[in-house]
Amino acid sequence: MNTDNNRILWARGISETGNAIRQAILALAILSVRDNPNDVFTAEVLETIGVIAIMLVGPSFIDRVNRKKSLVASDIFCVANALFLFLGALHNSIEALFVGSFFTTFFASFYQSNLKAMTAEAGDGDIKKVKHGLSMIQISVLIGAIVGLLGTTFALPKFELKYFFLFDSLTFIVSSVLVYGIKETSSVDFPQKKPWIEWIEGLRYSLKFPTIKLVIFSGIFGGITYGILESTSVVHLKNSVGLDDFWLTATRAINRVGSIAAFVLMFWASKKFPNLKGQFWILAGGVLAILGIFCMSSHTPVVFILSGLILFPGTSFLNPSLSAVIGASTDKNYLGRVFTFYSLSTYIGVLFGNLIVFLGRNNITTGEWLQVSAYIFVGRIGLGIAAQNRYKQKATSSA
């Protein structure tokens, strides 16, 4: 692996350490200002709306700008937002924390779409290379998240909440320096048109090909599932299972360990059994994810804690397989836009999942909501397998 790839992996892992710190602390910081669970829900919805906003604008320019400069700019904006959250926590301003919530993954999501596009370009249409590149990035993300979550877990008793936002800002400073050191990567070469025309052309392209369209629509089902999990799992952990804040961050770290184990297993199995196809990983990952969600709905602490060791390996099998289908199926001139529309469909699903939980919060329990999300996830599995079959048929007919 060359120096530039190593820099990208280190940068992504370190920035994810900051993301993990912020995700673990932001809800606690909001509750420390005003002990109202609805404020946490408001922050989650604002975060999702922020991501949808950048995803709606992003396709207009993501393929016309230099990839490296985009990544550095995203890191710098994340530094600014982390410092803004620090000031909000310092002055006990719930309004500032809400504004920071809106921007908390606003730029990070654009970063991720750009990085996926860069990785797919390097894979040059080879689905195995694209999947391997995306998987390596995901491993660095998981390691960074584990470092951030474990560090936060054990540092919580020693530092005030506001200082964690400073730690968050430092990770993005380091990430920006690492990315700045890679060789120039130009945007793809095509005549620049007006932004809204590029947006429309990107959408038309995304919906033109059944393989890409199926993956994008699968993102909606995955997003709804995640939105329900996001809105209910913490409340379920504290109120129904009876675990404290320590386990809020500890279980997230345990989940990531399970994901890393899944990637190691996937790499080994791909070499040992080269005939294993994408459909196998999508189906196996989907079944594990659904089983993990049902375990998460349990009121038994041990079962809840270990549920992530089933759920997260499942998503680690499934998600890179679907992203690889997009990366290998898409013309390089449209990669950034297609990945952005894929992310947009996912976050629209997340917002919908958040809202249906909010509207039905008094009707069913958190455990029952978790079970509902498992049934919804079946849609992602079905569309994912259909997309993989389409890709296989197209590849076979082109051979």
- Domain ranges within the chain, ordered by starting residue: 3-182+194-398
Cα–chain center distance at 278: 20
CB neighbour list of residue 380: distance below 8 Å, 6 or more residues apart = 218, 219, 221, 222, 225, 286, 318
Question: Per-residue DSSP letters for 131-194?
Answer: HHHHHHHHHHHHHHHHHHHHHHHHHTTTS-HHHHHHHHHHHHHHHHHHHHTSPP-PPP-S----
Predicted confidence at residue 335, as pLDDT, reads 82
pLDDT of residue 51: 82
Q: What is the pLDDT of residue 46?
A: 86
Q: Which CATH superfamily is domain 3-182+194-398 in?
A: MFS general substrate transporter like domains (1.20.1250.20)
pLDDT for the residue numbered 189: 53
Taking Cα atoms as reference points, which of 157, 43, 184, 38 lies closest to residue 102?
Answer: 43
What pLDDT was estimated at residue 186? 53
* Pair of tokens at residue 86: 């620090």
CA 123, distance to chain mean position in Å, is 21
Closest CA to 341 of 20, 48, 57: 57
pLDDT at residue 383, rounded to an integer: 95
pLDDT at 311 over 60: yes
Question: What pLDDT is stored for residue 245 in this prediction?
Answer: 67
- Extract the runs of DSSP E, i.e. beta strands, from the chain: none
Q: In 3D, which of 219, 377, 356, 215 has the Cα closest to residue 286?
A: 377
Residues 193-252 have pLDDT tens digits of 677 777 888 889 988 999 999 999 999 999 999 989 888 887 788 788 888 767 777 787
Give 65-121 pLDDT, tens digit per residue. 777 888 888 899 999 999 999 999 999 999 999 999 888 877 777 777 778 877 777
Dihedral, CA of residue 125, residue 137, residue 334 and residue 386, to nearest 10: 70
Task: Identify the residue with better confidence: 52 or 293.
Answer: 293
Output the average pLDDT for the chain: 85
Q: How far apart (Å, rounded) are the C-alpha atoms in residues 216 and 348? A: 11
- Identify the sign of the CA torsion 318, 321, 324, 330: negative
SS (H, E, C) 125-137: CCHHHHHHHHHHH
Binned at pLDDT 50, 70 and 90, residue 366 comes out as: confident
Return the structure tokens found at 299: 């009121």
pLDDT digits (tens, 9 = 90+) for 6-59: 888 899 899 999 988 988 888 888 888 887 777 877 887 888 888 888 877 776
pLDDT category at 131 given cuts 50, 70, 90 is confident
- Which pLDDT does position 87 carry in this prediction? 95
Token digits for 57?
């604008």
DSSP character string of 22-75 = HHHHHHHHHHHHS--HHHHHHHHHHHHHHHHHHHHHGGGTTTTS-HHHHHHHHH
Whether the per-residue pLDDT at 394 is higher than 80: the answer is no
- Tokens standing for residue 6: 């190593």
Q: Which amino acid is at 334?
A: Y
Q: How confident is the model at residue 185 (pLDDT cuts 50, 70, 90)?
A: low
For residue 30, the tally of other CB atoms under 10 A from its CB is 25
d(CA 282, CA 61): 32
Task: Say what angle helices 127-155 and 245-272 make with each other, to 10 degrees.
Answer: 160
CA distances 299 to 117, 229, 256, 378, Å, are 41, 15, 22, 23
